[in-house]
């Protein structure tokens, strides 16, 4: 058994079954990705629609169809058509306008719905996009998005500020979890708060403590990025 396979299986065995692991595969080679799939990985998280994710999707051939592909990097509007062809879930919808842009293109891509998560800018960082962690604003956005017939809002995703100690990230996860819980009471036709995507290699334990049910893990499985 290879190291990647070993790392994935250990991680999978160490966390509860109801927490899904999205394997963050940016910059990783096809051989590395094959190894983690053979070890049982079901969710692949890619950051760049084109060319990286598109090429990998094609190279993996039949394997690709069995996987769930999640977009976890920023989605540029001019990549939406390509993203719709590959991804099963777009985790990084950062504005109502982006949701509108996606909605318009779903049918042309041969799909009925595109499942999405709303990305919360939990650190209120100026350099980042995303919904501000303000329940009123997000509720309003959900109501506005109710008229989008081709998207399905499945939950929330957050990164938290990049730098620093994972301990300091806890408060951002707590806050996002609270918003997630409150939004469960907002019933709109095309939203259902099921997925809370929080936590990376250095923060997934804290994130799970705070209610995450989807963690996005790269370096813990593959080693440091090259
Ligand atoms: C790269 C990445 C991850 C995984 O990061 P690691 O520290 O390698 O586990 C998770 N989420 C997003 C959005 C990423 O870009």
What residue numbers bound the domain in which 212 lies? 3-222
- For residue 23 and ligand 1, the question of a CB distance below 6 A is answered with no
What's CA 158's distance to the chain center, in Å?
A: 8
From first CA to last CA, the distance across the chain in angstroms is 22
CATH at residue 186:
3.20.20.10
> Ligand 1 centroid to 143 CA: how many Å?
30
Q: What is the pLDDT of residues 123-165, one digit of tens each?
A: 999 999 999 999 999 999 999 999 999 999 999 999 998 766 7
pLDDT of residue 187: 87
What's the number of domains the chain is made of? 1
For range 84-100, the mean pLDDT? 98
Q: Is there a contact between 177 and 206 (Cβ–Cβ < 8 Å)?
A: no
Which pLDDT score, from 0 to 100, does residue 130 have?
Answer: 98
| pLDDT tens-digit map of 167-221 | 789 999 999 999 999 999 998 999 999 999 999 999 999 999 999 999 999 999 9
pLDDT score of 226 more than 70: no
218 Cβ inside 6 Å of ligand 1? yes
CB of 20 shorter than 6 A to ligand 1: no
Contacts of 112 (CB under 8 A, 6+ apart): 106, 150
Q: What is the pTM of this model?
A: 0.97
Alpha carbon of 215 to ligand 1 centroid (Å): 9
Whether the predicted pLDDT of 47 surpasses 70:
yes
d(CA 199, ligand 1 centre) in Å? 8
Residue 56 has pLDDT above 70, yes or no: yes
- Quote the CA–CA distance of 20 and 91 in Å, as a whole number: 14
- Alpha carbon distances (Å) from 62 to 34, 59, 84: 12, 9, 18
pLDDT cut 70: percent of the chain above it: 98
* Mean pLDDT within 98-112: 97
Q: Which residue has the tokens 């399905």?
A: 152
Strand ranges in 94-212 using DSSP code E only, listed in sequence order: 114-120, 151-158, 191-198
Query: What pLDDT was estimated at residue 213?
Result: 98
């Amino acid at each position: 058994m290879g190291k990647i396979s070993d790392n994935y299986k250990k991680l999978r065995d160490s966390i509860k079954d109801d927490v899904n692991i999205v394997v963050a595969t940016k910059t990783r080679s096809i051989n590395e990705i094959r190894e983690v799939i053979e070890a049982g990985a079901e969710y692949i998280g890619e950051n760049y629609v084109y060319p990286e994710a598109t090429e990998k999707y094609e190279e993996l051939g039949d394997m690709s169809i069995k996987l769930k592909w999640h977009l976890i990097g920023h989605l540029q509007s001019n990549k939406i058509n390509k993203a719709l062809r590959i991804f099963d879930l777009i985790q990084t919808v950062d504005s109502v306008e982006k949701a509108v842009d996606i909605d318009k293109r779903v049918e042309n891509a041969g799909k009925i719905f595109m499942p999405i998560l709303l990305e919360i800018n939990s650190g209120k960082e100026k350099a980042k996009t995303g919904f501000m962690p303000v329940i009123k604003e997000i509720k309003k956005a959900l109501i506005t998005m109710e008229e989008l017939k081709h998207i399905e809002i499945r939950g929330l995703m957050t990164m938290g500020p990049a730098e620093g100690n994972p301990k300091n990230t806890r408060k951002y996860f707590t806050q996002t979890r609270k918003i997630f819980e409150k939004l469960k009471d907002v019933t709109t036709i095309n939203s259902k708060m099921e997925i809370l995507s929080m936590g990376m290699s250095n923060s997934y334990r804290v994130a799970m403590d705070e209610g995450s049910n989807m963690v996005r893990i790269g370096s813990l499985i593959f080693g440091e990025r090259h």
